[in-house]
Amino acid sequence: MKIREYASAGLLLAFSLAAVSARAEDLPTRREINLDGPWRVTQDVHDVGEKVQWFNPDTRDARVGQPLSDAWQTIPRLAHLQLLLAAQPYFGRELRSFNAAPWWYRIDFPTPAGAGPATLRFEGVDYYCTVWLNGKPLGSHEGYADPFEYEVGDRLLHGRANALIVKVWSPWDRETSPGGEADWVYNVIRRMVKGTYEHADTFVQRDVNPVGIWRAVKLILHDGVREDGPPWVSAALSPDAASATVAVTWPIRNDAEPQAAGVSVRIVSLTDGKVAAQSSQPVDLAAGANSIERHRRIDAPRLWNTWDRGAPALYRVDLELTRAGRAPLRRQATFGIRTVALSRTANQTRFFLNGKPIYLRGATYWPDVYISNMDRARYERDVAAAVRAGFNAFRIHVHTENPEFYEICDRMGMLVLQDFDLNWVFPEDANFTARAVRLFESTIRQLRNHPSILAWIAMNEAGGRAATVRPGPQLVAAAKALDPTRPTIKNSSARDDLESGDGHDYRGSLGGGKYTDIYGTTEKLATEFGVDAPPAAARLRLVPQLAERLKDVLPRVAELDDYQYRLLKYYVEHYRIQKYAPNAGYFQFMFIDFCPQSFYGIYDYWGAPKVEGLGGGLRAMLESNQPLGIFMEYQDAPAAIHAVNDTNTDLGEVIAAWRVTLPSGELVTEGTRAIPLGPDSHVRVADLNFAAAPSQTYRVVLNLESKDGKILSHNEYDDPFHHPQRPQGFPERMDHELGMRLWWAGRVPIESRVIK
């Protein structure tokens, strides 16, 4: 049943035009009990637990002839089991045993005093699970990051402990696409909708496949009226942006008889703490599902924006449902007011934020292969570091992060391109499509309430009929139906598909050739490019197996960091020089290494920048990725100087200055030019066409200065016209035992190989 109330006529139409979103938080008005331990686990190595009724809390010790273990092990917390039980969770053959057979979890807990209706809520179980309470089945679930719940009030025991038992498994896929056996890694058919599970794609180590109950399990006591999902808060701006209509949809479940209630809505600006709108109205709750909709107008709204173009203004809506003689049901949701659009043609793929084009300076973000290993402090560290490096956007690559990450991006003004979990090869039958659509819808429902999320990406680098038959079209349709306020990229990397429109380019790294081969080419929107480089030798020695395997490489880490610096700088400046002509942004792959032996980040796994030699990828970003930039266009000789302003500030007339010298300090050429640099603009400053001798090295220094002499942007190039070759052995050589690049590392004799 839908219960609607509008502040004035015509608001429903305005509500459909643009949106924002919200973060929902529980207020302390209901009894919520964390079932945080002690949990016990054991592995059912022959998968016979259900046959012998391990779900029965009274099942006794294993009998002779039963291949079951009664040695249940207490775990210290809920997290992926590899983190809790493996000596080394990021590589080693023993990790495969975690996925060879199911795991069983058990916790015993008393029924709280006065308990009546109650919800049992799981925040995250990876990947398949079946749940029993006191020997009775509650249901099964598929997924890893989407919460699910069961009503259990009538199944709780009084006077003795309740036994909650969960079977969890995350199996290996072994089937490959037809003809794919010759290249097994890239052609395995992924039957789980689980992006972090990559089957040794030379990026995730082959034996890693996270499994377990990894987020909180809660028992929520209520009185028969409860939330039936997270509220959705969206907003529509008036054409002149003088006001916004905030729409709140609050799903409520009434397990009792129909009853009268009251609903109050209060909207508070988190910028100044002032109440922007409030109201209270009666409502009739029908038995079963109810959808309460309220619309409120905010005058002179503060718009959410990225950190480099304004301020990430946020609001909070306070919701309260009251009934006679009952405790109120309360909820808060934090949201921002902004509009998003995406223009896709054969010649452009351009995002618009609040009606203005926005140039995306982005990086792929995947900070740990085990998401349960992340916490708020690590997210805060990484987002702050990304802002310092000039990024205004992240792409969350084929997985979903923890809620805290999106809250921090909302607050700090960082945009997010959010991938769904479908990557490379997966089934294309109707059954899998239905599963994928259901999980995509769950992802959207959980995350659409964040103003930082710019768009959804339904698939990554999918081939075959996935984009034209299924599941691509079905995923896009589901996203449009659930969230008409944001665009969806159907298949990232399909640059010529007008439902996608972005490209991946690894020339000079995975794609072979030289990174300068991109000179003279164009890209509408680049969502992947990059090259890996190892961290400093001292960091690698924190994991002795890695340092030993790369002992021939460690003395030359600076060479690889230098190559990362040169490649990333060249790509970033190549894209920025073609700003909106046609390039609308880029996403470097990737910001931080997600395990000790994965090296694509400009930061290593421990959060330290790769700064050997010339300075690694972070130096490239500090020079070339800031909102204001001045760049040299060049390949094997200089061509021109360009200036870029990605902010909304009109800088007026500024001075571009350049100076070219030889190693001796001898001046080759220099000059200045006054240029107008308006908001969100690109200016080709001047030709730079001195004759660069092939045998000579040069140093080029560029400055962008205000008229009073303040340095607005600085850039420099050391020996820019001699480009290093792609490193020897990259990317052809891998150690799949460790899951790492080898470059020129020596081969390991068979008799000395360490088996883990």
**Which residues are CB-neighbours of 654 under 8 A, at least 6 positions away?**
643, 674, 675, 676, 677, 704, 705, 706, 707, 712
d(CA 351, CA 338): 13
Band of the pLDDT at 23, cuts 50, 70, 90? very low
- φ and ψ of 594, to 5 deg: -95, 0
**Which CATH number covers residue 43?**
2.60.120.260
516 found inside a domain: yes
Residues 171, 313 within the same domain? no
Assign 632 a pLDDT band (cuts: 50, 70, 90). Answer: very high
Q: Is it the case that residue 752 has pLDDT exceeding 60?
A: no
Residue 472 lies in a domain: yes
Q: Around Cβ 269, how many Cβ atoms within 10 Å? A: 17
Pairing of strands 39-43, 340-344: unpaired
Mean pLDDT taken over the chain: 92
Q: Is residue 670 part of a domain?
A: no
Contacts of 145 (CB under 8 A, 6+ apart): 124, 371, 399, 400, 443, 446
CATH of the domain at 482: 3.20.20.80
Q: How confident is the model at residue 435 (pLDDT cuts 50, 70, 90)?
A: very high
Locus of tokens 């899998």? 432
Residue 367: which of 595, 203, 621, 530 has the closest Cα?
595
Stated as kind and residue range, the H or E segment containing 473 is helix 472-482
Q: Where are the alpha helices (DSSP H) in 691-747?
A: none
Confidence of residue 732 (pLDDT cuts 50, 70, 90): confident
For residues 711-720, give the mean pLDDT: 98
What is the average per-residue pLDDT within 160-173? Answer: 96
pLDDT at site 179: 78
pLDDT at 612: 92
- Domain endpoint, select from 602, 626, 650: 626
Question: Would you say how long the chain is, in residues?
Answer: 756
240 and 316 in a common domain = yes
Which band of pLDDT confidence, cut at 50, 70 and 90, is reported for residue 14? very low
Are 190 and 199 contacting, i.e. CB atoms less than 8 angstroms apart? Answer: yes
Which of 231, 223, 225, 227 has the alpha carbon at shortest distance from 248?
231
And the tokens for 188?
């395995």
* Contacts with 477 (C-beta within 8 Å, 6 or more apart), sequence order: none
Which tens digit of pLDDT belongs to each residue from 544-561?
A: 999 999 999 999 999 999
pLDDT, average across residues 348-372: 97
Do 418 and 527 lie in a common domain? yes
Distance CA 599, CA 205 (A): 12
Pairing of strands 31-34, 217-221: antiparallel
Q: In angstroms, rounded to a whole number, what is the distance separating the alpha carbons of residues 153 and 151?
A: 6
Give dist(CA 601, CA 587) in Å, integer: 12
Q: Which pLDDT score is estimated for 30?
A: 62
pLDDT given at position 67: 65
3-state DSSP percent of the chain in helix, strand and coil, to 5: 15, 35, 45
331 and 240 share one domain: yes
Between strands 415-423 and 453-460, the pairing is parallel
Helix (H) or strand (E) holding 276: strand 275-285
Is the pLDDT at 411 greater than 80? The verdict is yes
- Token reading at 192: 């789980």
- Tell me the mean pLDDT in the region 15-37: 54
| In-domain check, residue 584 | yes
Amino acid at 551: K
657 is a domain residue: no
185 and 240 both lie in a single domain: no
- Residue 553 falls in which region: left (phi positive, over 0), alpha (psi -120 to 50) or beta: alpha
Residues 241, 326: one domain? Answer: yes
Are residue 199 and residue 84 in the same domain, yes or no?
Answer: yes
How many whole angstroms separate alpha carbon 265 and alpha carbon 285? 17
Q: What is the CA radius of gyration of the chain?
A: 28
Judge whether 660 lies within some domain. no
Of 315, 336, 357, which closes a domain? 336
Domain hosting residue 289, numbered range: 2-9+224-336
Distance, in Å, from the CA atom of 719 to the CA atom of 696, rounded to the nearest integer, reads: 8
Assigned domain for 46 exists: yes
Question: What pTM does this model have?
Answer: 0.94
Residues 296 and 260 in one domain: yes
Residue 580 CB-density burial (10 A; 0-12 exposed, 13-18 middle, 19+ buried): middle
Q: Report the distance separating Cα 570 and Cα 632, nearest Å.
A: 10
Are residues 249 and 313 located together in one domain of the fold? yes
pLDDT at position 13, please? 28
User: Is residue 63's pLDDT more than 60?
Assistant: yes
Question: In the prediction, which pLDDT does 289 show?
Answer: 97
Residues forming beta bridges with residue 658, ordered by sequence position: 671, 702
Helix (H) or strand (E) holding 185: helix 184-187
pLDDT single digits (tens) 298-357: 999 999 999 999 999 999 999 999 999 898 999 999 999 999 999 999 999 999 999 999
Q: How many CA atoms lie within 13 A of 326 on its CB side?
A: 19
Domain count along the chain: 3
Final residue of a domain: which of 575, 594, 626?
626
Q: Are the C-beta atoms of 645 and 628 separated by less than 8 Å?
A: yes
Output the pLDDT for position 464. Answer: 86
Percent of the chain surpassing pLDDT 70: 93
Looking up residue 259, the CATH number of its domain turns out to be: 2.60.40.10
Q: Are residues 82 and 152 part of one domain?
A: yes
Return the higher-pLDDT residue of 505 and 732. Answer: 505
Regarding whether 298 and 201 lie in a shared domain, the answer is no
Q: Are residues 310 and 455 in the same domain?
A: no
430-447 and 472-482 helices, crossing angle to 10°: 30
415 Cβ contact partners less than 8 Å away, ≥ 6 residues apart = 306, 353, 358, 360, 362, 392, 393, 394, 409, 452, 453, 454
Six-digit token pair at 580?
Answer: 């909106």
Q: What is the pLDDT of residue 58?
A: 87
Between these two residues, 374 and 8, which has the higher pLDDT value? Answer: 374
In a domain, 729, yes or no: no
Specify whether the backbone of 325 is left (phi greater than 0), alpha (psi in -120 to 50) or beta.
Answer: left
Residues 623-659 as b/e (b if ≥16 CB within 10 A, e otherwise) read: bbbbbbbbbbbbbeebeebbbbbbbbbebeebebbbb
Give me the phi and psi of 515, to 5 degrees please: -65, -25
Question: Could you tell me which residue, 293 or 25, shows the higher pLDDT?
Answer: 293
